[in-house]
Amino acid sequence: MRVRTATIMISIALLAGCAPTQQDYDAIVTLLQGSARARNEFVKVCAKDFDANARRTAGIVTNVSDKDAPRAACRRYLAAAISGRATYQDLLDIKAHRFTPKLIKIFQGR
């Protein structure tokens, strides 16, 4: 239950506009690194929150169908966060709609 709660909290924070603190972000990344169940839940919750416009934009950036784009974008960000490639600052950039070349590469799977 705690895994689901923490995963839902980060997913909501990632997509709803409010960013977790640096400490919360680090703790959640650590949780995601060690739990396949938490990773699956993260992708599921993350992908549900894309509206039609976000799906279309994600489809263009990820180079997959609009239908599959939310899951692809969520998986790619998750992989980058787990590996340390995506940082807390990158999350803040996403929340502020500042899509840097680094973030575009992450979402493109490069």
Q: Residue 10 domain-assigned?
A: no
Tokens matching residue 52: 């039609």
End-to-end CA distance of the chain: 34
Query: What pLDDT shows up at residue 48?
Result: 87
Residue 68: which domain range? 22-108
Query: What pLDDT shows up at residue 18?
Result: 64
Query: What pLDDT shows up at residue 87?
Result: 95
Query: What pLDDT shows up at residue 16?
Result: 46
| Closest by Cα among 13, 70, 9, 5 to 43 | 70
Task: Using DSSP, state whether 9 is helix, strand or coil.
Answer: helix
Query: What pLDDT shows up at residue 2?
Result: 55
Q: Residue 16 domain-assigned?
A: no
CA distance 63 to 84: 23
Task: Check: CB of residue 58 under 8 Å from CB of residue 69.
Answer: yes
Domain count, the chain: 1
Q: Residue 52 domain-assigned?
A: yes
Q: Residue 8 domain-assigned?
A: no
In tens digits, the chain (110 residues) has pLDDT values of 455 555 555 555 554 456 788 988 898 899 899 999 989 988 998 898 888 988 999 999 999 999 999 999 999 999 999 999 999 999 889 888 888 999 999 999 99
CA distance 20 to 74: 17
Task: Check: CB of residue 75 under 8 Å from CB of residue 42.
Answer: no
Query: What pLDDT shows up at residue 56?
Result: 92
Buried b (16+ CB within 10 A) or exposed e, 14-38: bbeeebbeeeebeebbebbeeeeeb
Confidence (pTM): 0.82
